[in-house]
């Protein structure tokens, strides 16, 4: 990847993994398809050339699992950045600051959420290539969303013309809607520094496949992720869905 001005840019890959979780307790360590949930994302990142793969966690057990999987965990995240209400951006900025002091300022940050374990083999490399080719400042992973969205209210409102109900096959690039997956973001470091946001400047969309939109928040999500991972590995017949 080239930085602005033609100089090479390092790419810091940050995987946040807090020890606490309300929906599925200790879900970052949950057995999903035969390995801890966080390990899927670590392995995907390590298989992508050019990434400095770092896990930001407040939890020593998660840190041990991450290190064993090959990720760097040079420090534990401070408690004030590991609360239920802590946004992701301060966590990433803390990682940027620590890495800058340790080995120099990264030019680009890839943010991967461990709760989205389904990614195809070429997804991360494809995202890096599209980010470079598009020349954007930030990029967000999305999946196509059906247009039939409603918002509660009095009365409820639709995001489409109910008098001219569209057909999915008639949608164009200009009328398609996309849902943010939460799985993957690419951001120039200055966007975090200037806007304290993972998205800013010129924003690009990175379109992912439908199954890559799975985000683990419930037991059903776990079952869905396991089934899809088994299918992608070609052994769905032996799928075992863990109880959580």
Respond yes or no: is residue 165 known to be catalytic. yes
Helix 60-69 × helix 37-46 angle, to 10°: 40
Report whether 184 contacts 208 (CB < 8 A): yes
Token pair 């929906």 in the structure block, residue:
23
Radius of gyration of the chain (CA): 19
- The secondary structure element, H or E, covering residue 54 is strand 51-56
Q: Is the dihedral of CA 107, 66, 73, 60 positive or negative?
A: positive
Cβ atoms of 212 and 100 within 8 Å: the answer is: no
6: alpha, beta or left? (left if phi > 0; alpha if psi -120 to 50) = left
Query: Which residue in 4, 103, 165, 179 is the catalytic one?
Result: 165
Residues with catalytic function:
165
């Amino acid at each position: 990847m080239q930085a602005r001005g033609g100089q090479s840019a390092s790419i810091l890959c940050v995987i946040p993994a807090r020890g606490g979780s309300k929906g599925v307790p200790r879900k970052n360590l949950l057995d999903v398809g035969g390995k801890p949930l966080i390990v899927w994302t670590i392995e995907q990142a390590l298989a992508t050339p050019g990434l400095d793969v770092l896990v930001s966690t407040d939890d020593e057990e998660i840190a041990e699992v991450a290190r064993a999987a090959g990720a760097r965990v040079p420090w534990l995240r401070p408690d004030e950045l590991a609360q239920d209400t802590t946004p992701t951006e301060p966590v990433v900025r803390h990682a940027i600051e620590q890495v800058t002091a340790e080995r120099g300022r990264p030019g680009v940050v890839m943010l991967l959420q461990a709760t989205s374990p389904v990614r195809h083999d070429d997804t991360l490399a494809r995202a890096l290539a599209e980010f470079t080719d598009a020349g954007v400042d930030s990029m967000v992973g999305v999946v196509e969303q059906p247009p039939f969205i409603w918002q509660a209210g009095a009365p409820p409102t639709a995001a489409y013309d109910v008098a001219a109900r569209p057909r999915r096959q008639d949608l164009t690039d200009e009328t398609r809607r996309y849902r943010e997956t939460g799985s993957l973001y690419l951001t120039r470091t200055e966007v975090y520094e200037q806007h304290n946001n993972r998205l800013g400047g010129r924003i690009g969309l990175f379109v992912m496949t439908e199954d890559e939109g799975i985000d683990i928040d419930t037991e059903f999500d776990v079952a869905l992720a396991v089934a899809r991972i088994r299918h992608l590995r070609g052994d769905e017949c032996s799928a075992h869905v863990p109880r959580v």
